[in-house]
Amino acid sequence: MEQIYPSKEALATPKYLNVSTQLSLTKRETEILKLITDEYSSLEIAETLSISLKTVDTHRKSLIRKTGARNIVGLVKFALHFSIAKW
């Protein structure tokens, strides 16, 4: 019988979780990703790093593009997978 649904193994590791992506993150992107995983809002990130909200948004979009994540939850999964953030 042909399998219609992906296997558990295929679902266990999202396609966007790869080492080359982790290595291509800038220092600032990594810093912002850590703050995102610590539940900082965009405003809190901007204030903490003394940057504009627009700059935070630009970095967030870059992180999503580079990791292939679809949303903030995907970014958090990426950060946890590569120990950028601690659980």
Q: Mean pLDDT, the chain, as a whole number?
A: 84
What CATH number is given to the structural domain containing 37?
A: 1.10.10.10
pLDDT score of 83 more than 80: yes
pLDDT score of 12 more than 70: no
Which residue range(s) make up the domain with 23?
Answer: 19-81
Q: What is the pLDDT of residue 85?
A: 87
pLDDT score of 21 more than 70: no
Find the helix packing angle between 53-67 and 27-37, rounded to 10°: 90
Contacts of 15 (CB under 8 A, 6+ apart): 68
Is residue 26 in a domain? yes
Is residue 55 in a domain? yes
Is residue 56 in a domain? yes
What pLDDT digit, counting tens, does each position of 31-53 carry?
A: 999 999 999 999 999 999 999 99
Across 68-76, average pLDDT: 92
Our separate counts of H helices and E strands in the chain read 6, 0
Domains of the chain: total: 1
The CA-atom distances, in angstroms, between 78 and each of 1, 9, 66, 87 are 34, 17, 11, 12
Q: What is the pLDDT of residue 11?
A: 46
